[in-house]
Amino acid sequence: MNSRTITVARFAAAAAAATALTLACSQAADAAPATPKSSASQSIAPCTASNTKVTVTPVSRPINHLLLTATNTGKSTCAAYYAPALRWDADQQAPVTVLQDSVPQAVVTLEPGQSAYAGIMTDSPDGSGTNGHTVSSIDVYFTDASNQGSVGDPARPSAPGTYVDDSAWVTYWQSSPDLALAY
């Protein structure tokens, strides 16, 4: 055998081995039993309006934003799962859009006295939003660990004179005000 034949034979053997390994790994993954997401935070009770104090604060930057703060007032740890579901006043039909780009790396868990934060963009800075109007309060619904609906009654922080339009959105719960207002 010449060196070219040996090189081709080695390449073919390596390709065959790689294919076999890929197939074996794929079959092993298919055969492995499905495991539920193992997250300690999934066993933590969700934050609710009854175990938090929720406030809304206007901020100077970024423009047209509010900072939503939920502070654990209970005696045990709670988790701020996913994003708050917001509704302007009581007459809005659909909740405010959640900004999907703001998913945090982990669920925000709150020991008593700690806070979670969400950024709210109220209206489009370029004026492209529609159906603008002024609201006086915000209904804030908390979500359960499975994101299958709200938990408990809404918190109703006041937001007098806040102008909103259809372009409004809210971030997922974040662990700091800076992260909540980064969007």
Share of the chain above pLDDT 90, in %: 63
pLDDT tens digit sequence for 65-80: 999 999 999 999 999 9
In angstroms, rounded to a whole number, what is the distance separating the alpha carbons of residues 27 and 7?
Answer: 30
The pair of structure tokens assigned to 19 is 């294919």
What DSSP line would sit under 95-133, residue for residue?
PPEE-GGG--SS-EEE-TT-EEEEEEE-S-TTS---S-E
Q: Return the pLDDT at 127.
A: 85
pLDDT tens digit sequence for 24-53: 333 333 333 222 233 444 589 999 999 999
What is the average pLDDT value for the chain, to the nearest integer? 81
